[in-house]
């Protein structure tokens, strides 16, 4: 009996010793910001300042906005578990870091080193390789290429309208799912050169893939949040960004399409550009596949989510909806239909879309890693090599200094785009500088064609399940509605 008690005490002491060592290890950096005289909130052992995110009370964008709102300093320190991270508040400093002094902050935090496919994408590439890869992909998004792609996009927008016709005058239709089907079709035909048929079948393969890429699950949360917040852990355990079956199936599809398209007539889409790069620059199959998959995942989520937030705002602001519809119908009449040229002329549509991107930046944070010691202009503070940097877009976009009455949906803010970002970056929904979103123009074109098609045919009305106030889903990496965007589509 005494031996048993002795063993229990020994086990207890070993556990206490382990917990003490773990506590000391996880708090070893907690004096970091205090030592540098940087404003910060008091961290909690083992979680740092991350408890609101880890407990699924706030999404990452809202968490950083809360930190942003806690002070008026140019920057604020925080802790990702035990790791110090710097949150930027000053638009002028942000502009310096992601534009003027880009060479000090050329790398993103995110990693996919353990993923043989995604590690080759331009998003995850670090050092000089990302620049070479980006230059090779830039021709995909030239004005000429976009104009050619617009015909494919218009066809998918018409398919969307035919699909919506099945649900007119029915309340509480899930507008996000409609937008997701549209964006999946657009990306599949533009990037992969194949028809996804999402409006023809509820079990369409590409829609199943896109749905599983971003559905909430513990696995997806660890994979996708981890690559941005805890890249070292992702690398150590060799965790891939997406489930194996998703990447393997996309690889099969892509390989089949590439082999078929080699001898076919050019379509002026992404596949043509990638085939050209393979011939002229000897790009590997993994590198080619990575760009197509990145285009698919980034474009799908950005387009579908922004569209659904846009439709929501139109439904709860009928006066704005009506004014926009008049512009769209006038432009369609003058141009003989929806076209590349027609959507470029829709000034109020652009204003409404810009305001939607202000309130709902899908990727609500920008991240960078300091690659060389950097002295912050006008201060004695030096950002050390390896320091994690965050730019909180929700904080900036909801700051009343830059956007009075920020909760209000007010497209008039964007009547003159030249008023923005002159002295610093306060409005950057697609990022800025050399690493801004390479597909932003394609995304905007797809959004304008899809939205103008819907607005020209249907009145958007709120339903009983339409949120009266938008709340964001805390379990998702990207900005999402926690209660969906249920609407009613009424034919004009």
Q: Where are the domains of the chain?
A: 90-491
Give the end-to-end CA distance of the chain in Å, rounded to a whole number: 85
Measure CA 10 to chain center.
51
Note the pLDDT tens digit of each residue in 52-97.
Answer: 998 989 999 999 999 999 999 999 999 998 999 999 999 999 999 9
372 closest CA partner among 383, 364, 380, 363:
383
| Residue 382 bridge partners (DSSP) | 375
In 3D space, the residue among 81, 67, 64, 72 whose CA is nearest the CA of residue 472 turns out to be: 64
- pLDDT for 4 equals 67
Among the listed residues 76, 90, 84, the one whose alpha carbon sits nearest the alpha carbon of residue 41: 76
pLDDT of 262 reads: 74
> Does 227 appear as a known binding residue?
no
Strand ranges in 136-224 using DSSP code E only, listed in sequence order: 173-174
Q: Which fold has domain 90-491?
A: Cytochrome p450 (1.10.630)
Q: What is the pLDDT of residue 462?
A: 97
Per-residue confidence band for 268, with pLDDT thresholds at 50, 70 and 90: low
Find the mean pLDDT for residues 176-194. 89
CA distances (Å), origin 99, targets 23, 176, 362: 39, 34, 21
Q: Are 471 and 482 in contact (CB under 8 A)?
A: yes
455 to 168, 218, 399: CA distances (angstroms)? 13, 37, 30
Mean pLDDT confidence for 305-309: 97
User: Tens digit of pLDDT for each residue in 358-395?
Assistant: 999 988 999 999 999 999 998 999 999 999 999 999 99
Structure tokens at 103: 């060479």
455, 321 in Cβ contact below 8 A?
A: yes
With a cut of 70, say whether residue 1 has pLDDT above it: no
CB 487 within 8 Å of CB 463? yes
Q: Model confidence over 202-261: pLDDT tens digits?
A: 889 989 988 888 777 777 777 777 777 777 777 777 777 778 888 888 888 888 887 887
| Tokens (6 digits) for 14 | 């070993």
Percent of the chain past pLDDT 70, that is, above it, reads 97
Reading the block at residue 22, the tokens are 């773990």
Tell whether the model's pLDDT for residue 104 goes beyond 80: yes
Average pLDDT of span 146-168: 94
Contact 393, 67 (CB under 8 A): no
Q: What does pLDDT average to over the chain?
A: 89
From the list 126, 94, 101, the residue with the least C-alpha distance to 393 is 94
DSSP string of 222-258, one letter each residue: HHHHHHHH-HHHHHHTT--SS-HHHHHHHHHHHHHHH
* Per-residue pLDDT band at 274 (split at 50, 70, 90): confident
- Residue 15: its pLDDT value, please? 87
| 257-261, 300-304, 434-438: the lowest-pLDDT one | 257-261
Position 458 confidence tier, pLDDT thresholds 50, 70, 90? very high
Give the C-alpha separation, 20 to 12, whole Å. 12
Q: How far apart are CA 21 and CA 19, in angstroms?
A: 5
Pairing of strands 388-392, 83-88: parallel
Nearest to 331 by CA among 412, 451, 411: 451
Residue range 442-456: average pLDDT?
96
CA dihedral 469, 470, 474, 479 (to 10 degrees): -170
Q: Give the pLDDT mean for 326-341.
A: 95
User: 336: alpha, beta or left, given left = phi > 0 and alpha = psi -120 to 50?
Assistant: left
Nearest-CA neighbor of 461 among 311, 323, 327? 311
Distance, CA of 434 to CA of 444 (rounded, Å)? 19
Q: How far is Cα of residue 117 from the mean position of the Cα atoms in its chain?
A: 20
* Main-chain phi, psi angles of 241, to 5 degrees: -65, -35
pLDDT tens per residue, range 2-53? 666 777 777 788 888 888 888 888 899 999 999 999 999 999 999 999 999 9
Q: Residue 415 — pLDDT band, cuts 50, 70, 90?
A: very high
């Amino acid at each position: 009996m005494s031996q048993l008690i002795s063993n229990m005490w020994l086990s207890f002491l070993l556990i206490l010793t382990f917990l003490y060592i773990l506590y000391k290890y996880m708090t070893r950096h907690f004096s970091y910001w205090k030592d540098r005289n940087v404003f910060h909130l008091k961290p909690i052992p083992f979680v740092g300042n991350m408890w609101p995110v880890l407990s699924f009370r706030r999404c990452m964008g809202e968490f950083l906005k809360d930190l942003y709102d806690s002070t008026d300093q140019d920057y604020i320190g925080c802790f990702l578990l035990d790791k110090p991270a710097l949150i930027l508040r000053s638009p002028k400093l942000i502009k310096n870091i992601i534009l003027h002094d880009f060479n000090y902050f050329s790398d993103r935090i995110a990693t996919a080193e353990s993923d043989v496919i995604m590690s080759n994408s331009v998003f995850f590439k670090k050092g000089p390789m990302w620049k070479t890869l980006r230059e090779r992909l830039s021709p995909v998004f030239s004005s000429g290429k976009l104009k050619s792609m617009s015909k494919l996009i218009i066809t998918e927008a018409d398919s969307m309208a035919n699909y919506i016709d099945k649900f007119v005058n029915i309340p509480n239709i899930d507008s996000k799912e409609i937008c997701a089907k549209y964006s999946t079709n657009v990306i599949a035909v533009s990037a992969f050169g194949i028809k996804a048929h999402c409006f023809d079948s509820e079990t369409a393969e590409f829609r199943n893939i896109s749905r599983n890429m971003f559905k909430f699950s513990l696995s997806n949360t660890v994979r996708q949040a981890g690559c941005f917040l805890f890249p070292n852990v992702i690398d150590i355990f060799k965790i891939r960004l997406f489930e194996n079956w998703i990447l393997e199936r996309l690889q099969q599809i892509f390989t089949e399409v590439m082999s078929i398209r080699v001898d076919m007539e050019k379509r002026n889409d992404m596949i043509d550009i990638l085939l050209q790069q393979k011939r002229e620059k000897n790009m590997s199959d993994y590198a080619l596949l990575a760009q197509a998959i990145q285009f698919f995942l980034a474009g799908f989520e950005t387009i579908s989510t922004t569209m659904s937030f846009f439709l929501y705002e139109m439904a709860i602001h009928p006066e704005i909806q009506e004014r926009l519809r008049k512009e769209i119908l006038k432009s369609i009449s003058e141009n003989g239909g929806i076209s590349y040229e027609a959507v470029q002329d829709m000034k109020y549509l652009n204003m409404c879309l810009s305001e939607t991107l202000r309130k709902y930046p899908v990727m609500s944070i920008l991240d960078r890693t300091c690659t060389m010691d950097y002295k912050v202009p006008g201060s004695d503070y030096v950002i050390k090599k390896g320091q994690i940097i965050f730019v909180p877009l929700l904080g900036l976009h909801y700051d009343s200094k830059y956007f009075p009455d920020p909760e209000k949906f007010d497209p008039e803010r964007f009547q003159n785009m030249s008023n923005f970002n002159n002295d610093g970056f306060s409005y950057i929904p697609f990022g800025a500088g050399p690493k801004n979103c390479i597909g932003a123009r394609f995304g905007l074109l797809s959004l304008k064609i899809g939205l103008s098609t819907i607005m020209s045919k249907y009145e958007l009305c709120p339903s009983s399940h339409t949120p009266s106030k938008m709340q964001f889903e805390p379990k998702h990496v990207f900005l999402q509605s926690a209660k969906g965007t249920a609407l009613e589509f009424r034919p004009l």
